[in-house]
Amino acid sequence: MRYKAGDPLPGLVKEPVARVQLVRYAGASGDFNPIHFDDEAARSRGLGGVIAHGMLSMGFLGQFVEAAFGPGATRKLEVNFRGMVKLGDVVTCRGRVTEVREAGGRSLAVCEVEAVNPEGAVVTQGVAEAWMG
């Protein structure tokens, strides 16, 4: 796909975050912190309940970039975690191209990307670079 500076990227809406998804992610990532699957443990740490792994929302953004530019197109993805994704949240990924430049004879898109919770709050925000063409 070819984009130019200012172009929005096609959004990606994820299914509601499910407990089984978080347990599977814990197994894949090795992060078995109980705040990601045990309500009581999460509440005892001042959370309202189970929250998703921050890296899961980063993974959603990676999937979003790959969907917009194609498999293997992502060159870089850097994010900041700004909020929490709760059990049952529908996460929406969105972004736009901020710059297109040539690098090594290829076109590289620089994009602002973000993952947003159902209340519209940005939970993960960052910059992605992806090859075009």
CATH number of the domain enclosing 72: 3.10.129.10
45 in any annotated domain: no
Which residues span the domain enclosing 61? 12-16+54-132
On the question of pLDDT at 1 being above 90, the answer is no
On the question of pLDDT at 35 being above 80, the answer is yes
70 in any annotated domain: yes
For residue 115, give Cα distances in angstroms to 15, 20, 65, 82: 13, 21, 12, 10
Provide the 8-state DSSP code for 50.
-
25 in any annotated domain: no
pTM greater than 0.75: yes
105 in any annotated domain: yes
68 in any annotated domain: yes
40 in any annotated domain: no
pLDDT tens track for 62-99: 999 999 999 999 999 999 999 999 999 999 999 999 99
**Residue corresponding to tokens 């089984």:** 20
Calculate mean pLDDT across residues 32-47: 96
On the question of pLDDT at 105 being above 80, the answer is yes
pLDDT tens track for 18-31: 999 999 999 999 99
The tally of domains found in the chain comes to 1
15 vs 51: CA distance, rounded Å: 15
